[in-house]
Amino acid sequence: MLCLGLKICIATATHFQINYAVIFLIQMLVAIITNPQCLVVISVLAIIWMMFLKKNDDPNWEVSIGGMQLGKTQRWMALSAITAIVLLSVVGQVFFSATFFCGILVIVHGILHPVPEPTFGDEINDVL
């Protein structure tokens, strides 16, 4: 019985995957917009990146850490890593809560919705 329910959930998820992606994106945008801390961090990071991109085009700009010169690619990688860490630290909770909410939505929808009718080229029958 559990195996059949899992197969039905997989078939439904395959059929409605674009809808689920749109719902997830809308949920993420609403969660970020309603959280002022996320808005401030994203705005500050956007300003930092704009300043960095302008400054990084200057061929005379030299950055050294511990006496070692950093090239353009190394500067890009450093700021990308810092940005990823900051975003994960601040926006991570919002991201994971939206992911959890959408995951529960997908599971409930997969359980309650009847199996979609197969269309030409669908492999739903193979799953069932």
**Pick from 3-12, 15-24, 49-58: least confident:** 3-12
DSSP code of residue 71: -
Residue 6: what pLDDT? 73
* pLDDT at residue 14 in the model: 80
Residues 95-124: pLDDT tens digits? Answer: 899 899 888 988 888 778 776 666 555 555
Whole-number pLDDT of residue 119: 59
Check whether 20 has a pLDDT greater than 80: yes
- Give the pLDDT of residue 10: 78
121 class by beta-carbon count within 10 Å (0-12 exposed, 13-18 middle, 19+ buried): exposed
What residue spans define the domains of the chain?
Answer: 9-116
**Model pLDDT, residue 42:** 94
The string of pLDDT tens digits covering residues 22-59 is 999 999 999 999 999 999 999 999 999 999 999 988 88
Residues 123 and 6 sit within 8 Å (Cβ to Cβ): no
List % helix, strand, coil for the chain (3-state, nearest 5): 75, 5, 20
Angle between helices 2-15 and 17-33 (to 10 degrees): 80
Residue 126: predicted pLDDT: 54
Res 58: pLDDT:
86
At residue 52, the pLDDT reads: 95
